[in-house]
A = this chain, B = another copy of it.
């Protein structure tokens, strides 16, 4: 007992660390909001729906099973189901029963593909305007490395999925998110 570590004593952050932390927290709050706002404004969708479209567009046949897609866009099946319903009601994707069991394939329609091609440049431009061009290449890559480290702790599954996707493409393709 006596030499047990006081696990509930948490060392506070010093002044500079706190300052950095607050900026980070502000960023993770504001950046997604800004990206969502651009997509909403210009395309009427949110980031999650955009990632669904991108995921499908990169996939052979522009088709993926719900569960694969949920993995790729890292959302729950439920969230995916709701989102696909929204996109389907716009005619951008369609559901089709697939081979076995209860499995469903989602396919990006021609309309959906055409819309994505219109949408993507604006989103990349926004990514450049808000982040890439502000930081410059070196700082961006450094930021990426830090993000990767943190992500491995925060959400190992997410991090792994990202590495895999990275291995798979290696070449060009669509703007991954």
Main secondary structure of the interface of A (DSSP, over half): helix
Tell me the bound Cα distance from A158 to B143 in angstroms. 20
CB-defined contacts of A88 to chain B, threshold 8 Å: none
CB-defined contacts of A8 to chain B, threshold 8 Å: 121
Contact-residue bracket for chain A: 35 or more
In whole Å, how far is A7's beta carbon from the nearest beta carbon of chain B? Answer: 9
Q: Which of A1-38 contact B (CB under 8 A)?
A: 8-13, 15-32, 34-35
Q: In the complex, which of the residues B10, B18, B162 contacts A23, with contact meaning CB atoms closer than 8 Å?
A: B162
**What is the chain B residue whose CB lies nearest that of A127?**
B21
Q: In the complex, which of the residues B22, B132, B153 contacts A177, with contact meaning CB atoms closer than 8 Å?
A: B22
CB-defined contacts of A137 to chain B, threshold 8 Å: 17
